[in-house]
Structure 1
Amino acid sequence: MGSLPHVVEDCLGFLQLFSDGSIFRSNDIQFKISAVQDHSVTFKDYLFHKRFNLSLRFYKPQHVTLNTNKLPIVIFLHGGGFCFGSRTWPHIHNCCTRLAAGLQAVVLSPDYRLAPEHRLPSALDDAVEAVRWLQRQGLRLKEDENGGDAWLSADVDFDRVFVVGDSSGGNIAHHLAVRLGSGSSEMDPVRVRGYVLFAPFFGGEVRTKSEEGPPEHMLNLELLDR
């Protein structure tokens, strides 16, 4: 009889990789914060990738204070070391709510496939698919002013799209910029006008300057090297 599978990688107890290749992912995560109920912003979930059952959350400010006809779009790519995170997690939801209210913009927050079940570049491919989903909404509206989802299409400026990425989401945003190129003309009528990277996660065979600095409590070198 062979030996029983044993843990070969353990990420804080929430994600474990076993010697036989199987994976345990805990759904019992106790968050220290709860989702903010901000009535100045409404949100709605959409299935954008049917094959992988991936959804995104679309936020829209209720009361627009800026003197503008249409609102810009912010695509927010969450962090989590490519292994964790979801649009439904409280801190991610709260961040998107604040962005929508503070920037007076609509915010699109997509989920993406997570490692190690789905190796890179799966996450990047899913981010591209989220932009394509947005493109389809814009094309429907372009062909027919009454086409598509009225809640989503009203007052949305597909010509002013900005991609924001946090940590591993910043890495995805970087590669999204490389893949789409300047102006993202292939995604017409969607035009990505800029990318904002919050503490983007980059790593490789050579240490980055941030890796050489003082270790953080959770994101230490031992964990990052895995």
Structure 2
Amino acid sequence: MSNTGTAATASLVDECRGVLFVYSDGSIVRLPKPSFSVPVHDDGSVVWKDVVFDPVHDLSLRLYKPALPVSTKLPIFYYIHGGGFCIGSRTWPNCQNYCFKLASELQAVIISPDYRLAPENRLPAAIEDGYMAVKWLQAQAVANEPDTWLTEVADFGKVFISGDSAGGNIAHNLAVRLKAGSLELAPVRVKGYILLAPFFGGTVRKKSEAEGPREAFLNLELID
């Protein structure tokens, strides 16, 4: 739990999905686990570990790969979690289950990074963190003593970057920044981007925002 003030003496101003609470004195309480209960489906076919990619901001990513030995190098697939830039984590069970499935069915190395969340960290902090997570991969590709857990199986020439919701927005911004061919990441080469229901907001409401039902999971009140 994070607490940037004395929330006990202040009134609740806003909350998000029973995880994030903002109080009138500016304090913020953030619970470490989601409000929903989802079991983790780890059948042993995929192995994983956590790695710090940004020690300055204490940010980690989670690596996944098939447990059985492979005869060829595997493509690398980034999955950036969603959560409206406010909630979510690589450690949440829904994220972990999705990455297990990706690693197993795609036969790929999966990289799932965390990023700094709002309101403690305003944009473009999350986008910069996504960029740093990709630069970490480049550093591994050229390092004299890389993490062999990754480099022995990963094909740095076949990288794909995906994300859902806010993560899709980060993936979009990475595509704009890195441009076609991702030359600045050499020898890492991004082959494509997959945006899963990407979250984009603006000052003018879209029709789907203005007319969306209140009972929807992502209703107008939550988006605002």
Alpha-carbon distance in 2 for matches of 1:109, 1:19? 34
Mapping of residues 177-188 of structure 1, within 5 Å: 177-188=175-186
CA-CA distance at 1:32 after TM superposition: 2.2
Alpha-carbon distance in 2 for matches of 1:150, 1:77? 23
Q: Deviations over 1:71-123 (max 9, x none)?
A: 11001000011111111100000001101111111000001111101111111
CA-CA distance at 1:28 after TM superposition: 5.3
What residue number does 1:38 align with? 43
**AA partner of residue 95 (structure 1):** Y
Aligned CA distance change for structure 1 residues 40 and 211 (closer, same or farther; 3 Å): same
**AA partner of residue 220 (structure 2):** L
Q: Deviations over 1:21-63 (max 9, x none)?
A: 2111123544321111121111111010000111100000123
**AA partner of residue 187 (structure 2):** P
What residue number does 2:147 align with? 149
Segment of structure 1 superposing worse, 167-176 or 22-31: 22-31
The answer to whether the 8 A contact 2:168-2:198 is kept is: yes
Alpha-carbon distance in 2 for matches of 1:210, 1:61? 40
Q: Normalization by structure 1: what TM-score?
A: 0.89
CA-CA distance at 1:156 after TM superposition: 0.8
Alpha-carbon distance in 1 for matches of 2:75, 2:17? 38
- Give unpaired runs (5+ residues) of structure 2: 1-8
What residue number does 1:95 align with? 98
CA-CA distance at 1:15 after TM superposition: 1.4
Alpha-carbon distance in 1 for matches of 2:207, 2:174? 23
Q: Normalization by structure 2: what TM-score?
A: 0.90
Confirm whether residue 23 of structure 1 aligns to residue 49 of structure 2: no
What residue number does 2:10 align with? 5
State the percentage of identical aligned residues: 55
Q: Secondary structure at the match of 2:155?
A: strand
Confirm whether residue 205 of structure 1 aligns to residue 203 of structure 2: yes
Alpha-carbon distance in 2 for matches of 1:38, 1:124? 33
The answer to whether the 8 A contact 1:31-1:90 is kept is: no
What residue number does 1:165 align with? 163
What residue number does 2:113 align with? 110
